[in-house]
């Protein structure tokens, strides 16, 4: 296994961590309008991810930074090529981050309502756009001989990619609903369960369509195996949440996300951004990567830092392991 193959795996792991963790963050954001009936319930949902959303978001920054360091060509082509979708994602992440922190800082009705709207829309949009972006990466876009994306914005909004967006949105919302059922107490917990059941069925249908399309289009043996894991995991997650086994359900909805991202990357390998114009213009792990020295250096960093990060982030989840309900909300007169 060459170093750039290892780094392909590391980047895949970072994106997987991001989607697994921020997946339920986005889901909770969307559910503030789907599931919560009033402000206290919305606050309960927001507070299930209160202490951890920021740390979850850093997985994205790490994925971007690691891509810059390990595959500069990929970083440059992807971010300059998908300019407008990325701009929309960034705007959402900015507003969403501020919404978490500032919503509670004033008690005015309009102030709180506006931030809640912002939180909903800025969770919904990135959840869709990440799927659209990855759908396009996997499917291949118009990349010319200079490694530049030469397509337009509308080329990115093709049916396959839009279906990918629907898949990530439904998966994340399902994941979020299961997380909500796992972390709350009282009435909202039971509503989260029934909501999760429906969302799970929707996510399973969409994911099956999208993954089978991907498989038919450009699948391999390994991606077929992982695809089956993804769909089975979704089925188990739905069954578990119906049976009230929230912990198991969360583990399997998470596994479904991990497997879906794994399908993306398995189909992609050894390319990192295939060109739909000509195969020889595709960006691959070998022609887009950094020098061996940089990759070796980065490997040491990742090898030491990543387990530590997993360790102290898990500890955070353990510290805040208690369920919360409306009775636990602090007086909002901050």
Partner 1 sequence: MALAPETLSRWQFGITTVYHFLFVPLTISLASLTAGLETAWVRTGKEKYLRATMFWGKLFLINIAMGVVTGIVQEFQFGMNWSDYSRFVGDVFGAPLAFEALIAFFFESTFIGLWIFGWDKLPKRIHVACMWMVALGTILSAYFILAANSWMQHPVGYRLDKGSGRAELTDFWLVLTQNTALAQAFHTLAAAFLTGGAFMVGIAAFHLRRGKHVPVMRTSLRLGLITVVIAGLLTAVSGDLLGKVMFKQQPMKMAAAEALWDGEKPAPFSVFAYGDVDKGHNSVAVQIPGVLSFLAHDDFSSYVPGINDVNKAEQERFGPGDYRPTIPVAYWGFRWMIGFGMTSFALGALGLWLTRKKFLLPRRLRTGEEEVPRLVLLRAPLGARLSRWYWRLAVWTLAFPLIAGSWGWIFTEMGRQPWVVYGLFQTRDAVSPGVSQGEVILSMTVFTLLYAVLAVIEVRLLIKYVKAGPPELTEDDLHPPTRIGGGHGDGDGDAQQDRPMAFSY
Nearer to partner 1, 62 or 204 (CB): 62
Q: Interface with partner 1 includes 145 (CB under 8 A)?
A: no
Torsion of CA 131, 134, 139, 144, to 10 degrees: 130
Give 333's contacts (C-beta < 8 A, 6+ positions apart): 107
CB of 182 to partner 1, least distance (A): 17
* Binding to partner 1 in span 93-122, by CB under 8 A: 93-95, 97-98, 100-106
Residue from 268, 256, 284, 281 nearest 222 by CA: 268
Angle at 205 between CA 204 and CA 211, to 5 degrees: 80
Q: Interface with partner 1 includes 146 (CB under 8 A)?
A: yes
CB of 154 to partner 1, least distance (A): 14
Nearer to partner 1, 11 or 177 (CB): 11
* Binding to partner 1 in span 55-74, by CB under 8 A: 55, 57-58, 61-62, 64-73
Q: What is the DSSP string of 11-69?
A: HHHHHHHHHHHHHHHHHHHHHHHHT--SHHHHHHHHHHSTTTHHHHHHHHHHHHHHHHH
Tell me phi and psi for residue 107, to 5 degrees. -100, 0
Nearer to partner 1, 100 or 174 (CB): 100
Nearer to partner 1, 42 or 193 (CB): 42
Selected from 2, 54, 217, 278, the binder of partner 1 by CB under 8 A is: 54
* Binding to partner 1 in span 267-296, by CB under 8 A: 290-291, 293-294
The neighbour count for residue 245, using CB atoms within 10 Å, is: 16
Selected from 87, 145, 157, 209, the binder of partner 1 by CB under 8 A is: 87
* Binding to partner 1 in span 177-236, by CB under 8 A: none
């Amino acid at each position: 296994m060459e170093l750039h193959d290892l780094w392909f795996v590391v980047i895949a792991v970072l994106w997987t961590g991001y989607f697994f963790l921020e997946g339920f963050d986005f889901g909770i954001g969307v559910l503030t309008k789907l599931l919560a009936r009033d402000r206290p319930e919305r606050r309960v949902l927001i507070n299930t991810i209160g202490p951890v959303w920021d740390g979850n978001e850093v997985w994205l920054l790490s994925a971007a930074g690691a891509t810059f360091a390990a595959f500069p060509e990929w970083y440059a082509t992807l971010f300059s090529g998908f300019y407008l979708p990325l701009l929309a994602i960034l705007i959402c992440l900015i507003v969403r981050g501020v919404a978490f922190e500032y919503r509670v800082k004033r008690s005015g009705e309009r102030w709180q309502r506006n931030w809640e709207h912002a939180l909903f829309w800025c969770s919904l949009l990135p959840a869709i756009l990440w799927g659209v972006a990855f759908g396009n990466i996997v499917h291949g876009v118009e990349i010319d001989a200079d490694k530049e994306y030469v397509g337009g914005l509308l080329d990115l909004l093709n049916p396959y990619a839009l279906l990918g967006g629907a898949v990530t949105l439904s998966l994340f919302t399902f994941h979020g609903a299961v997380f909500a059922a796992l972390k709350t107490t009282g009435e909202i917990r039971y509503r989260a369960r029934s909501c999760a059941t429906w969302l799970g069925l929707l996510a399973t249908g969409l994911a099956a369509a999208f993954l089978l399309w991907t498989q038919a289009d450009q699948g391999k043996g390994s991606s077929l195996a992982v695809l089956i894991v993804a769909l089975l995991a979704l089925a188990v997650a739905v069954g578990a949440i119906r049976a009230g086994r929230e912990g198991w359900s969360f583990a399997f909805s998470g596994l479904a996300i991990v497997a879906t991202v794994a399908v993306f990357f398995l189909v992609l390998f050894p390319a990192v951004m295939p060109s739909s114009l000509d195969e020889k213009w595709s960006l691959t792990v070998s022609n887009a990567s950094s020098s061996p020295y940089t990759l070796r250096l980065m490997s040491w960093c990742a090898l030491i830092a990543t387990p530590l990060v997993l360790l102290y982030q898990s500890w955070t989840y353990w510290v805040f392991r208690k369920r919360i309900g409306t009775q636990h909300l602090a007086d909002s007169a901050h």
